Structure 1
Amino acid sequence: MEYALLGDLHSSIDDTKAVLAHIELTVPNAKVVGLGDLFESKIGKRKAATIRLSRLEEAAVWSEEFVSLLTFPSVRGNQEERIMVVTSGNQYEHLPEHIIIDGAVLMHGHQWKWTKEWTPVLPKTEPSLLFFGHSHEAGLYRKGRRLPFSYGVPVHLKKKRYGINAGAVWGTREWVLYDAAARTVTFMKTE
């Protein structure tokens, strides 16, 4: 099965529409799954500890038009968690912390440590492929090292552990195509 994995949408209507159109054009039968941070919190991390707002629109960049684009399952990101804290709500409680698909675990990426250079310190997962977002930087990782890749060129993954950062929809319009049967990942980017 083919999966189109996208994360860090941050409420961007134009970028999300462009990526979803690119997916539909290139792999119309792929199952789309989100890697979290669908929404953008209007409240920073420090202020979120003390501010409580009653309306969702005060805490998040939110619109019916954007919500109508979210027709796919997704994990919960740190932005959704922050919005729930600030509003004392449970709007995104239905989004799981992780999803397991064919041979891979999907998480957002805020659950583990990152180095000062924003290299992920990846947890060992089962299955051994870990797709994530959070840093907004597409990357392929093995044993703590970043491996080279080219957009649009499939990378065959050996039966080893890998971390795959799908990049960000917001701003860079990136996503990853994962072919579970072929065990390949293809980093994708659209205009």
Structure 2
Amino acid sequence: MKYALLGDLHSSIEDTKAVLHHIHRCAPGADIIGLGDLYECTVGKRKAETMRNCPVEKAAIRSEAFDQLLTFPSVRGNQEERIMKVTGTNEFSKLPEKMIIDGAVLIHGHQWKWTADWLPLVPKIDPPLLFFGHSHEAALYRKKNRLPFEYGKPVVLKKKRYAINAGAVWGSREWVLYDAAARTVTFMKAD
């Protein structure tokens, strides 16, 4: 089974359209799954600590055009959680915190600590492959070390633990193709 994993869309219609078009062109038939932060919350972290009952249209960048692009399942990101917190709605509570697919865990990445220079302090999980987003930086990690990769070139994953950051749709137009049968991951970037 092949999976196209994308995250950190942050309500960007143009970037999301470009990535979805790239997925359909490069990996037709792949199951598309989101890694959270589909929407952009307009309320900052500090202000969100005290703000409540804010109208959704003021708390999030939303449009019907963007909503129509979201035809795939996704995990919940910190942006969705913040929107719910400041609005008092549970609109995104149906999005799971994590998903498990063919030997891999999908999660946004805001659930664990990060170093000052944005390196993830990834928890040990099962299954041993972890796909995430949050930092907006595509990366492949093994034992806390960042491994090299080239866009468009499959990386064969040994039967070890890996953490794979799919990068960001917003601003970078990145996504990851995971082939569970071949046990490969291919970092992709749309034009």
TM-score with structure 1 setting the length = 0.99
In the other structure, the counterpart of 1:154 is 154
In the other structure, the counterpart of 1:37 is 37
What are the ranges of 5 or more consecutive residues in structure 1 without an aligned counterpart?
none
What are the ranges of 5 or more consecutive residues in structure 2 without an aligned counterpart?
none
Q: Does 1:117 align with 2:121?
A: no
Report the CA distance shift for 1:54/1:46 in structure 2 as closer, same or farther (over 3 A): closer
Query: Once superposed, which parts of structure 1, at least 4 consecutive aligned residues long, lie more than 6 Å away?
Result: none
SS at match of 1:69: coil
Task: Give the Å deviation of 1:51.
Answer: 1.2
Deviations 1:88-115 (A, max 9, x none): 1100000000000000000000000111
Using the alignment, how far apart are the partners of 2:18 and 2:53 within structure 1?
Answer: 32
Using the alignment, how far apart are the partners of 1:54 and 1:161 within structure 2?
Answer: 42
SS at match of 2:68: helix
Deviations 1:36-93 (A, max 9, x none): 0000000000000111244211100000100000000000000000000000110000
Task: Give the Å deviation of 1:25.
Answer: 0.5
Instruction: Give 1:82-101 correspondences, 5 Å limit.
Output: 82-101=82-101
SS at match of 1:186: strand
Percentage identity across paired residues of the two chains: 71
In the other structure, the counterpart of 2:171 is 171
SS at match of 1:43: coil
Task: Judge conservation of contact 1:11–1:62 (CA < 8 Å) in 2.
Answer: yes
In the other structure, the counterpart of 2:58 is 58
In the other structure, the counterpart of 1:72 is 72
Using the alignment, how far apart are the partners of 1:114 and 1:159 within structure 2?
Answer: 25
Q: What RMSD in Å do the two structures reach over aligned CA positions?
A: 0.6
Q: Does 1:143 align with 2:143?
A: yes
Deviations 1:100-138 (A, max 9, x none): 000000000000011111000111111000000000000
